[in-house]
Amino acid sequence: MTTNYADRFQQKDAVASYEGEEYGAESYSSCIWRRQRPVLEQIVKDFRAAHSGPVRLLDFACGTGRVLSTLELLVDAADGVDISENMVAVARTKCTKARLLVGDVLAKPELLAASYDVISCFRFLLNTEPALRARILRRLRQTLRTPDGLLLVNVHGNSHSLRHPAILWRRWRERGGKSNAMLNEMSPTETRKLLAECGFEVVRQFGFGVLPPTIYRTPLRGAAQAIDRQLAGDRCWNNWAIDMLFVCCPR
């Protein structure tokens, strides 16, 4: 079954699955987020400390507010935008000060403010249709403050990671089937090329989760978590991490 990515999180059951399964207390994604969250907070704190005026943040494709509810507390003003009313309904319960907007920023450019100092974009780029990736990034580039704004973009499926064989296997197993599983991957090089084409320069890259997630479903889970905790961050092997965070400036 093929669904437009913009439609994937429209229904309440998809929202409930994202919150309760993808981000259930002991899920793999929650483990990664526990490593990623302090790094992200520090990036925004450092930006604010080095920045003279008030800091305005946009969390693009904010979903249920996982990232926005963390970052809104570290800036002076925050907007979250998403195409799914039901995802944003959950974000409204978590965010205390951000302005939450629903709509398509390509069809309604006025949804976004004229200028943001920081834009975050998590778990969107990888799974949206390739033709939309560049259109959205260019729209974000238009609204990011030049020259010293910051784009924090996450790609949660690295084709050069140790998870790649499992993705190949699942693609083969589910070939021609009805599965709606997201099995996309992007490499660090491909991501950097796309970002450069859309007017961004990557200034730092972080990686989270080096070991295959299947290990997290075995008795070795504790050891895997401990190893991934040690390997997370801005490290020389971050091109092989499953979940990548690119810190970008306008070019």
Ligand X SMILES: C[S@@+](CC[C@H](N)C(=O)[O-])C[C@H]1O[C@@H](n2cnc3c(N)ncnc32)[C@H](O)[C@@H]1O
Q: Which residues of the shown chain bind ligand X in the complex (CB under 6 A)?
A: 5-6, 9, 61-63, 66-67, 82-84, 87, 104, 122-124, 128
Q: Which residue is closest to ligand X by CB?
A: 63
| Smallest distance from ligand X to CB 50, Å | 25
| Smallest distance from ligand X to CB 10, Å | 7
Rg (CA), the chain: 18
| Smallest distance from ligand X to CB 174, Å | 19
| Smallest distance from ligand X to CB 82, Å | 5
| Residue (62 or 232) nearer to ligand X, CB | 62
Compute the Cα dihedral for 66, 69, 75, 81 and give only its sign.
positive
For 175, the token pair is 């070939």
| Residue (9 or 240) nearer to ligand X, CB | 9
For 117, the token pair is 């100092």
Compute the Cα dihedral for 70, 78, 17, 165 and give only its sign.
negative
| Smallest distance from ligand X to CB 29, Å | 9
| Helix/strand/coil for 149 | coil
| Residue (37 or 51) nearer to ligand X, CB | 37
Residue 38 near residue 31 (C-beta atoms within 8 A): no
| Smallest distance from ligand X to CB 63, Å | 2
Closest CA to 127 of 136, 119, 118: 136
Residue 245 near residue 154 (C-beta atoms within 8 A): yes
| Residue (56 or 123) nearer to ligand X, CB | 123
The length of the chain in residues reads 251
| Residue (87 or 186) nearer to ligand X, CB | 87
| Residue (129 or 148) nearer to ligand X, CB | 129
| Residue (62 or 186) nearer to ligand X, CB | 62
| Smallest distance from ligand X to CB 201, Å | 23
For 13, the token pair is 């059951």
State phi, psi for 152 to the nearest 5 degrees: -115, 105
State phi, psi for 246 to the nearest 5 degrees: -105, 125
Rounded-to-integer distance, Cα 36 and Cα 232, Å: 8
